[in-house]
Structure 1
């Protein structure tokens, strides 16, 4: 068990959550900033590091605990199908994408507020788990939907889940974006190491 936890990218990510949260609290005590230096807020070129740090930062303890539990729920089974590098890259890229889309969308209709939290990345992982398994692959193959129809159905599912899990103050656009990206990525199997192995074997001639 100890050996597994030492190699778990999910556990590594949870530890980063804790370290960033402690840094947030410490900075708030020493010199309370007008805006959390870890938060993603426009203009992005002023504090470009927040594209990444905002994925690991949280507004309060309840926010941290909620995202940590959700990450453990989807991250532990997902990490068994991929490598730690792919896991972390997927987490950062989907979380950052969800945050940037949230800020950009809000900037078009109203004054955007700073974005914090890993929920966009967690929703992406949830979406990946839903479509990146054999049962879902078999079902979609039987339905024989084209790429456009699949994308439309994924977008509809993402919209339903986003509305169903929404609440005041929640970054709904980030949740929708993360979940949709995760559904598509799961369908493509971007984290599944075994798929690449199977392709190499199929394209190899032995003598």
Structure 2
């Protein structure tokens, strides 16, 4: 696959373009940049920030760290899916993670920090990769755990991973949501194409 056709490279390119525009707007007006690119309540009042916030970042260090994390997992995940499914998954998980962060925080505080960044979506890719690989399939297949036990494992594992990413200013609820959705999606193999599923079934037979 050419790099230009890689959904991971495409995602990085979108993040870079958004960051350049965001930086230009921030130079003129930091408040305007925050309002245009960051997700904050009321979400219905500026719905464009829902998808845009996934590709926006607070600074170069934030963008660089997310880019490295994405490269480490993105190229692996994209080999087992289509470009359309990859982008749909990334954006959907990223938006869901941001919404949970905003809505849950809003329930307990009158001051809700604005949310932006691809961390939730990237953790979704990590969760998907962990839950969908052959080793995980073999382990869960042999254990034959109940749904309640599987949910408990997802919650505990996701909590541990979320705590590992804890730092001042980090949207932990978004991280938790993204990774949890990734684990669930991985167990369901929602990124797998029908051709791959048929091929795997033939190999098992």
- What range is the shorter-chain TM-score in? over 0.9
Equivalent residue number for residue 189 of structure 1: 189
Instruction: Decide whether the 8 Å contact of 1:94 with 1:121 is kept in 2.
Output: yes
Equivalent residue number for residue 122 of structure 2: 122
Equivalent residue number for residue 58 of structure 1: 57
Stretch moving more, 190-199 or 168-177: 190-199
The equivalences for 1:32-43 within 5 A come to 32-34=30-32, 35-43=34-42
Equivalent residue number for residue 24 of structure 2: 26
User: Deviations for 1:123-177, whole angstroms, at most 9, x for unmatched residues?
Assistant: 0000000011111011011111122211111111000110122111100000000
Stretch moving more, 190-199 or 54-63: 190-199
Task: Give the CA deviation at 1:7.
Answer: 1.0
Equivalent residue number for residue 165 of structure 1: 165
**Aligned partner of residue 81 in structure 1, secondary structure:** coil
User: Deviations for 1:62-89, whole angstroms, at most 9, x for unmatched residues?
Assistant: 0000000001111011000000000000
Aligned-partner Cα distance in 2 for 1:166–1:31: 30
The structure with more helix, counted as a fraction of residues? 2
Equivalent residue number for residue 73 of structure 2: 74
Equivalent residue number for residue 137 of structure 1: 137
Instruction: Decide whether the 8 Å contact of 1:58 with 1:64 is kept in 2.
Output: yes
Stretch moving more, 32-41 or 79-88: 32-41
Task: Give the CA deviation at 1:194.
Answer: 4.8
Q: Structure 2 length as normaliser, TM-score?
A: 0.92
Aligned-partner Cα distance in 1 for 2:151–2:56: 31
Unmatched 5+ residue regions in structure 1? 203-207
Task: Give the 4+ runs in structure 1 shifted more than 4 A.
Answer: 194-197
Equivalent residue number for residue 15 of structure 1: 13
Equivalent residue number for residue 147 of structure 2: 147
Stretch moving more, 189-198 or 94-103: 189-198
Aligned-partner Cα distance in 2 for 1:147–1:196: 26
Q: Figure out how many residues of one structure are paired with residues of the other and give that number.
A: 199
Aligned-partner Cα distance in 1 for 2:27–2:17: 16
Stretch moving more, 51-60 or 144-153: 144-153
Q: Structure 1 length as normaliser, TM-score?
A: 0.92
Task: Give the CA deviation at 1:36.
Answer: 3.8
Aligned-partner Cα distance in 1 for 2:153–2:29: 48
Query: Structure 1 195/144 Cα, relative in aligned 2: closer, same or farther at 3 Å?
Result: farther
Query: Structure 1 105/184 Cα, relative in aligned 2: closer, same or farther at 3 Å?
Result: same
Aligned-partner Cα distance in 1 for 2:120–2:197: 29
